[in-house]
Structures are given as structure tokens and as C-alpha cells.
Amino acid sequence: MANHRSDRVSEDIQRELAAILREMKDPRLHDGIISVVRCDMAKDNSFCRVYISSMNGLDTAKKAAAALKNAQGFIRRELGVRLKLRYAPVLAFEATDSIEYSANISRILHDIDIRPEVEEDDGDNA
């Protein structure tokens, strides 16, 4: 049976983390566009793995993940207050290159030149 509460809390955490990221003043978080890609919650809501990505690449995402790890206590407290959680989950931040990967796929698809095939009429009109 799926744990729907974990899914809802995960979505709420993802939304609030994005808001907290915008408010934080750490310069490592403002090098490029930093995005919270996904949050994976434990079944008992005690642990949350947060995936961070950047348009500038994996190195920028790793710097942002390190900055967020340093500010984990502040972020955890803010999440608990904003979401009115009795116990805010322990957060683990991981860098991923999913935004850069999807931007590259989009660029490749945009560069493909697809021309529609023209049907030739051979003169037989039945």
C-alpha cells in the first residue's frame, strides 16, 4: 500500500524548499538557477533526500548542495515552522545534473530538422 502522506509531505517540502532557497543569502546558491528537482521521503517521514540541480552544471549544483548542508539546521527549522510539522525530517542534499541533461535533450530535439514527406500522385485516380 502506498504511503500517500509521505507523498504529500514530500511535495510540500519541495515547494517550501524552493521558497527558502530564494530567501537565503548564501552566494553559492545564487551562482545560477538552482532548482529542487525531487524529494524522496522515508515511510516514517523522519528522513528526506533532496535532489538539487543547476542550469550551470553539476559543479554549481554540488556547491549549492554543500551550502544547503551547512544550513541544514536553519532549513529544517524553517520547514517545521512553515509546514507546521511536529518533527521536521532530517534533510540530505544531493546534486544532480537533471536540468542540464533535459536542456541538452531539448536542444538536440530543437536542432533536428524534420521535413514532412510529400506524397507523390502517380496519376491513378481510381
Task: Kindly write down the DSSP assignment for every residue of 7-29, as one continuous string.
Answer: HHHHHHHHHHHHHHHHH---GGG
Cα dihedral 22, 25, 31, 32 in deg (nearest 10): 0
Any domain includes 124:
no
Q: For the chain, percent helix, then strand, then coil, each to nearest 5?
A: 50, 15, 35
Any domain includes 80:
yes
Any domain includes 121:
no
Dist CA 8 CA 14 (whole Å) = 10
Any domain includes 120:
no
| Cβ atoms 106, 44 nearer than 8 A | no
Any domain includes 90:
yes
**pLDDT tens track of the chain, all 126 residues?**
456 777 888 899 999 998 998 888 888 887 778 888 899 988 888 899 999 988 888 888 899 899 999 999 999 999 999 999 888 899 999 998 877 777 778 888 888 877 777 666 665 565
CATH code, 26: 3.30.300.20
Any domain includes 119:
no
Domain span at 79: 4-111
